[in-house]
Structure 1
Amino acid sequence: MMKYFRTYPPGMQLLLFLLMTFTLFSLALAFIGVMLPKVYGVPTSAIQNITDKSAPVLIHVSLVAQGIGSLMMFAAPSLLFAYLAHPKPIKYLGLKAPQKPIHLLLAVLVMLGAMPVFMALQTLMGHINFGAEVQAKQEAAETVARAYLTMPTFADFIRTFLIVAILPAIGEELFFRGMIMRFTHKSSHNIVLAVLFSAIMFAFVHASYTGLPSIFLAGALLAVIYNLTGSLWCGIAAHLFFNGLQIIFAYVEKGNTNTGAAPTDTGIQWGFVAGGVVLFAGAFYMLWKTRTPLPRNWSDDFDQPQNSTTDENPAIFN
């Protein structure tokens, strides 16, 4: 009979998960560095410094490399560890259908309402001088993002949507909410700490200086959505909407203007932000009123009987 990782102490399980993540991501980097240049006939250095003016083949290869890295760093280790850790890996990761299907829609509406606030916060952060080195790194990251959003054809749009929206939405939710949040709750039995720590790690991995507060808040919101619905699919839907809407807007802008890069607006539209706050408040209130939260023992490796009066999390999230 297979000995599942759940029989090991929590610290050993975490170490195994981190080693698994490091190993798979290292294999991905090796594949990207050795195989992709041979397959596509372009040097690795050429795909590391792309811009929206780069040749389409370079942008394509860079996107493929991004997708492989995302898959092997987030989705693959989470799925593999869950399979080796528990006889019910899908349940272990929280990939169950929401008890109330309306939660999928409410999660998306909550994220839609929060997006203008995140964008305004990022704009405000952009006015802060973090120094020449930080600014150079930020500009380099934004240059790559603009390259990915060139999308001259519909096929390019589909490829970008798959790699930049769908893969991260699934992989990052599995990793940060399905695994990191679970490990934190398992060791602390504190849902607030689990939400905050998973959001901190989410923001740290994305490594964006101007976007750091927005990414942290988005990560915390996704963790709260998971906690209130009890289904990781709701967080995946909200995350996919957040990523995908920006790609759709960029593609539509290019189709309407036919000028290449989408226009940049550095100002804050406060009416847009106010409307988002209203939508967020209404959708979050409905999500709260209809919540089906994670039970107190949701991170346990072995099911434990509970009293019906203690199935839910502490009052702060109830």
Structure 2
Amino acid sequence: MRPILGDKPLWIQCILLASLLILFMGVMGAVSLLIPAQALQTQAMVESLGFELLVSLTFGALIYSHPFRETGFTPASSHWFYLLAATVVLAAVPVTQVLDQWNQNLHLPHALASTEKWMRDTEASQDKTIDKLLYMPNPGYLIANLFAMALCTAIGEEALFRGVVQKILIRATRNIHVGVWLGAVFFSAMHFQFLGFFPRVVLGLVLGYLYVYSGSLWPSIVAHFVYNGSQVLYFYVHPSSTGGAAIPPLYGLVSTGLVLAGFVWMKNLNSLHGPERRHL
């Protein structure tokens, strides 16, 4: 069946996406009122699958003849991409931690002191919610968090930010790299965690280029799951931890080098197995 808006210009598609985000945000807001405040894992699953994934699939159904394929839900061109995805995202952890330490110590000019106070108060409020989520007194809580915070979040966010938003940005700029970078910035900004903005941009870049080189969302989903899952596991093993010791900047440089080496390998794999960028 021919999609309803498949032949419309890009700006119409952007309006459609914005409209779907607003509509589903309102619906999810109403649904969340029915979920008990203490059911944080359920709220996370509703946000990821009921909002992000559903928006992405609805957008795809209205725009594309093959929505699953065009939004990236196809196998990667090589099985190596799945292993590389997990390896590269773990290699990126030190550089994200170094950037996080630097980001936490950034201060706005004195004239914007009230804005900085609002940002830090917002971050502190979000941290309290995350601390409640990461309270895992037994393995059952660990499994629930791995499912809700790692798997569901990975599927929902990758579908929306890489499968839809990044694709639109690449088409709008007609440049893959500009589209990936803008997508990473948008991905970080939409989390509204300003003191972790720059490390999340780096994570967005890693996930964005995984999608570009593999031609599939699944390696990005694997990487996102591994990244979030490793944090859940860390706080399960170290429940009283506040984030660990400071990471030397040298580790960040080594981490960056390993990530870049991984992407060189992916680029070579992409060339070997043929470019799979029809969805871009």
1:88 aligns with 2:66: yes
Q: Are residues 267 and 99 of structure 1, via their aligned partners in 2, closer, same or farther at CA, if it must alter by over 3 Å?
A: same
Residue 54 of structure 1: aligned partner: none
Instruction: Please say if residues 25 and 51 of structure 2, whose CA atoms lie closer than 8 Å, have aligned partners that are also in contact.
Output: yes
How do 1:233-312 and structure 2 match up within 5 A? 233-254=218-239, 261-269=240-248, 272-273=251-252, 276-277=255-256, 279-292=258-271, 293-295=275-277, 298-299=279-280
Instruction: Please say if residues 29 and 69 of structure 1, whose CA atoms lie closer than 8 Å, have aligned partners that are also in contact.
Output: no
CA distance in 2, matches of 1:188, 1:123: 32
How do 1:97-136 and structure 2 match up within 5 A? 97-130=75-108, 131-136=116-121
Residue 211 (structure 1) shift: 0.9
CA distance in 1, matches of 2:216, 2:180: 15
CA distance in 2, matches of 1:247, 1:116: 16
How do 1:153-232 and structure 2 match up within 5 A? 153-232=138-217
1:69 aligns with 2:69: no
CA distance in 1, matches of 2:146, 2:214: 26
Residue 113 of structure 2: aligned partner: none
Larger mean CA deviation between 285-294 and 121-130 belongs to: 285-294
**How many percent of aligned residue pairs carry the same amino acid?**
23
Q: Of the two, which has the highest radius of gyration?
A: 1
Residue 253 (structure 1) shift: 2.3
Q: Which amino acid aligns with 1:268?
A: I
1:146 aligns with 2:131: yes
Instruction: Please say if residues 120 and 195 of structure 2, whose CA atoms lie closer than 8 Å, have aligned partners that are also in contact.
Output: no
Instruction: Please say if residues 207 and 223 of structure 2, whose CA atoms lie closer than 8 Å, have aligned partners that are also in contact.
Output: yes
Q: Are residues 226 and 62 of structure 1, via their aligned partners in 2, closer, same or farther at CA, if it must alter by over 3 Å?
A: same
Residue 246 (structure 1) shift: 0.6
CA distance in 2, matches of 1:145, 1:5: 39
Q: Deviations over 1:71-128 (max 9, x none)?
A: 2331111012212322211111111111110111112111111111001110122123
Task: Give the root-mean-square deviation of aligned CA atoms.
Answer: 2.1
Residue 263 (structure 1) shift: 4.5
Instruction: Please say if residues 109 and 279 of structure 1, whose CA atoms lie closer than 8 Å, have aligned partners that are also in contact.
Output: no
Larger mean CA deviation between 238-247 and 4-13 belongs to: 4-13
> Unaligned 5+ residue runs, structure 2?
109-115
1:19 aligns with 2:31: no
CA distance in 2, matches of 1:65, 1:287: 35
- Secondary structure of residue in 1 paired with 2:6: helix
CA distance in 2, matches of 1:282, 1:8: 40
Q: How many residues align?
A: 270
Q: Deviations over 1:265-308 (max 9, x none)?
A: 3522456546534543443332232225443x544xxxxxxxxx
Instruction: Please say if residues 25 and 72 of structure 1, whose CA atoms lie closer than 8 Å, have aligned partners that are also in contact.
Output: no
Q: Which amino acid aligns with 2:11?
A: G
CA distance in 2, matches of 1:185, 1:132: 35
Residue 12 (structure 1) shift: 1.6
Q: Are residues 72 and 151 of structure 1, via their aligned partners in 2, closer, same or farther at CA, if it must alter by over 3 Å?
A: same
Q: Which amino acid aligns with 2:175?
A: N
Per the normalisation by structure 1, the TM-score is 0.78
- Secondary structure of residue in 1 paired with 2:190: helix
Per the normalisation by structure 2, the TM-score is 0.88
Instruction: Please say if residues 24 and 73 of structure 1, whose CA atoms lie closer than 8 Å, have aligned partners that are also in contact.
Output: yes
Q: Deviations over 1:128-172 (max 9, x none)?
A: 345433222222222221111111121111111111111111111
Structure scoring higher RCO (CA < 8 A, sep ≥ 6) equals: 2
